[in-house]
Amino acid sequence: MTASSTSCLPDSESIRKTWQKLTGIVKQTPVLTSETLNILTGSKLFFKCENFQKAGAFKFRGASSALLHISDDQAAKGVCTHSSGNHAQALALAAKIRGLKAFIVMPENAPEVKVNAVRDYGGQITFCMPTLEARESTLEEVRKATGALFIHPYNNYNIIRGQAGCFYEILQQMDEEPDYIIAPLGGGGLLAGTILSAKYFTKKTRVIGAEPLNANDAWKSFREKRFIPSESPLTIADGLKTSLGTKTYPIIMEHVEDIITATEQGIIDAMFLVWERMKLVIEPSAAVPLAALMENPERFQNKKTGIILSGGNTDLRRIPWLENRYHH
Amino acid sequence: MTASSTSCLPDSESIRKTWQKLTGIVKQTPVLTSETLNILTGSKLFFKCENFQKAGAFKFRGASSALLHISDDQAAKGVCTHSSGNHAQALALAAKIRGLKAFIVMPENAPEVKVNAVRDYGGQITFCMPTLEARESTLEEVRKATGALFIHPYNNYNIIRGQAGCFYEILQQMDEEPDYIIAPLGGGGLLAGTILSAKYFTKKTRVIGAEPLNANDAWKSFREKRFIPSESPLTIADGLKTSLGTKTYPIIMEHVEDIITATEQGIIDAMFLVWERMKLVIEPSAAVPLAALMENPERFQNKKTGIILSGGNTDLRRIPWLENRYHH
């Protein structure tokens, strides 16, 4: 992959129009602030609450965007994906709202809470062995049997166009451009979308990606200027384990200001802070930007810095700081 | 006490002006909705997020209101109260913002997290034995030694005037009056304030108080039409254990539409629902209105119903549904 393969990039007009078309489908989530966290970090923070988004994460923006662009013929056959996480729920709900079928391939060890959520949203689940190979081959069988359109969780310009709406929306909600905006970084859909909106709609905002130190494939790629895949990383931030895709990699490599990382303990501590001080339930992946900022505070001193709280889907019966207490 | 002792009731103009004067001091908290909870309850719900209020609860409205009305001479001597809960934190922070001293009497067994919060806000703590008698006599000593003005947590018209701002603010944020508004009911400051704002600023909104079944002194008082005190109730909703006061009792008895109750399990279940589905950290007391609605759903079917999520100060190391799992 090279940084020049960006010929079909979503343009500014299509990002704006997609956001407008999704009014009333996608929630306009609030932007909140915390004086306590400003004092703790030395930055002037604001938080975009995508944990309040439908299906509990920003992924619903991308999934809804993807469904705007499919033909009537395709719509009749439905859509499909493989995911054990937020994309599965988001696609199932977006499809339900559009009146389409959604076929979701999930690993047989997926958490019950996530399986139930997909089922509640009307998704038709096919279970498979918990390997990427099994997921892909099972998806291929489902796709052939149903004719459903595969909606990739991030390596898809219609998905990126939807995720771009998150930062576009922030700009509509604020009086002035922030100095920085930090997005969590897994497959890169949210970060790539944020980069495009910053490029098109701001004069000065710099975009930072935040990754778990234990899943720092993009951090390495950025430093070594070549694609380095993610290799079965162990991190509590389960939404950020994937590799970049052929469509997100070049956008990020060309335009991101920097990629910063957070330790596992830092992620848990930041998650605790947001729950305790902001009274917001966020999932571990959503705590990674704040954790990375707190481990790399210098450049953010007195700067207006946005943090995307990407989602709130976490098992409330397994609280990280209590699991530590009870299991270690 | 009789329902006629309401001669010094806050009037509509003073409620409106107090709310306006506190702009920039008291947070304008968001109103959120949840399609999932609408489906679960059959009602058209909205939630006023006082868990996002400064110091983590609506109590900051009343405390800030009380400090608007003290003389310069009194201001020099500071304010005092006894409380192990949200009023202590709220008064300490409101005093700090006004540049006043706050003397807080707390029982020696108060949770460390609450003691630390009061101290962080600059409150000067005096510990006492954990009985109401000791709290009152220690407060009296502190008051005599310092000359500080006692700010009662609810039985004070300036406090009630401030709490009335919560529902007044809701009305500014909404396009139409709700059919019902439900407030949790302990000492009655928030409920009395809500009643006054409904009376002055709406045509049709009916106000409901929600109480733990295990602390149903106001429910009994309302049914028997006489004052019945709270007697050391055992409930997880630790903010709602107190008796009504001489100023809150008559307002509530005269104007409340009804008082409804919730079981302990219902409170925990409702708290879990709000955390899981709305991604909001609320304390047990704040879950009582939703719990009581879910145990008494009939009258709220298809009605626009507001719920005041009164606060979010709960020990995140002691999660009720996990305490049950680990300790039973």
Please give the CATH number for the structural domain made up of A3-57+161-322.
3.40.50.1100
Residue A64 is predicted with a pLDDT of 98
Listed residue (B300, B327, B318) closest to B40, CA to CA: B300
Nearest CA in chain B to A277: B56
- Chain A residues within 8 A of B272 when measuring between CB atoms: 316
Numbered ranges of CATH 3.40.50.1100 in chain B: 3-57+161-322, 60-150
Report chain B's mean pLDDT, rounded to a whole number: 94
Q: Give the distance from residue B252's alpha carbon to the nearest chain A alpha carbon, in angstroms.
A: 30
Listed residue (B104, B31, B11) closest to B304, CA to CA: B31
Confidence of residue B323 (pLDDT cuts 50, 70, 90): confident
| The amino acid at A128 | C
Measured in degrees and rounded to the nearest 5, phi and psi for residue B308 equal: -90, 110
Residue B161's H or E segment, with its range, is: helix B157-173
DSSP for A229-279, written as a single string: ---S---S-GGG-SPP-TTHHHHHHHH-SEEEEE-HHHHHHHHHHHHHHH-
Residue A315 is predicted with a pLDDT of 92
Is there a contact between A281 and B275 if contact means CB atoms under 8 Å apart?
Answer: yes
Torsion of CA A245, A246, A252, A254, to 10 degrees: 160
Residue B328 is predicted with a pLDDT of 37
Is there a contact between A319 and B322 if contact means CB atoms under 8 Å apart?
Answer: yes
Measured between alpha carbons, how far is A89 from A83 in angstroms, rounded to an integer? 9
Residues of chain A with pLDDT under 70: 1-7, 324-328
* ipTM value greater than 0.85: yes
Check CB contact of B32 with chain A, cutoff 8 Å.
yes
- Residues 6+ positions from B179 with CB-CB distance below 8 Å: B204, B205, B206, B303, B304, B305
Residue B7, pLDDT > 50, answer: no
- Tokens of residue A155, six digits: 């390596």
Within 10 A of A109 (CB to CB), how many other CB atoms are there?
Answer: 9
Residue B326, pLDDT > 60, answer: no
Check CB contact of A268 with chain B, cutoff 8 Å.
no
Read off the pLDDT of residues B84-112 as tens digits, 9 standing for 90 and up. 789 999 999 999 999 999 999 998 988 88
- Strand spans (E) along A50-112: 79-82, 102-107
Beta-carbon pairs below 8 A across chains A and B: 54
- Tokens of residue A55, six digits: 């299906």
Within 10 A of A73 (CB to CB), how many other CB atoms are there?
Answer: 8
- Chain A residues within 8 A of B325 when measuring between CB atoms: 317
Residue B324 is predicted with a pLDDT of 58
**How do strand B102-107 and strand B124-128 relate by DSSP bridges?**
parallel
- Chain B residues within 8 A of A315 when measuring between CB atoms: none
Check CB contact of A76 with chain B, cutoff 8 Å.
no
Residue B175, pLDDT > 60, answer: yes
Task: Report CA-CA distances (Å) from B157 to A159, B75, B162, B226, B230.
Answer: 54, 18, 9, 22, 21
Residue B69 is predicted with a pLDDT of 87
Residue A2 is predicted with a pLDDT of 39
Check CB contact of A280 with chain B, cutoff 8 Å.
yes
Confidence of residue B77 (pLDDT cuts 50, 70, 90): very high
Listed residue (B208, B265, B280, B255) closest to B235, CA to CA: B265
Residue A312 near residue A283 (C-beta atoms within 8 A): yes
Residue B203, pLDDT > 60, answer: yes
- Chain B residues within 8 A of A54 when measuring between CB atoms: 35
Residue A84 is predicted with a pLDDT of 78
Residue A324 is predicted with a pLDDT of 59
Is there a contact between B276 and A316 if contact means CB atoms under 8 Å apart?
Answer: yes
Residue B299, pLDDT > 90, answer: yes
Residue B327, pLDDT > 70, answer: no
pTM for the model: 0.94
Check CB contact of A89 with chain B, cutoff 8 Å.
no
Mean pLDDT, residues B128-139 taken together: 91
Check CB contact of B52 with chain A, cutoff 8 Å.
yes
Measured between alpha carbons, how far is B132 from B138 in angstroms, rounded to an integer? 10
What is the sign of the dihedral through the CA atoms of A279, A239, A96 and A71? Answer: positive
Give the 3-state secondary structure of residue B108: coil
- Tokens of residue B176, six digits: 């139409």
Read off the pLDDT of residues B32-47 as tens digits, 9 standing for 90 and up. 999 999 999 999 999 9
CA max distance for chain A: 56
Measured between alpha carbons, how far is A183 from A286 in angstroms, rounded to an integer? 9
Residue A309 near residue A261 (C-beta atoms within 8 A): no
Q: Which CATH architecture has domain A60-150?
A: 3-Layer(aba) Sandwich (3.40)
- Tokens of residue B300, six digits: 């709220």
The tokens 């009023």 sit on which residue?
B87
Sheet of strand B206-212: strand arrangement: B31-32, B44-49, B304-309, B180-184, B206-212, B258-262
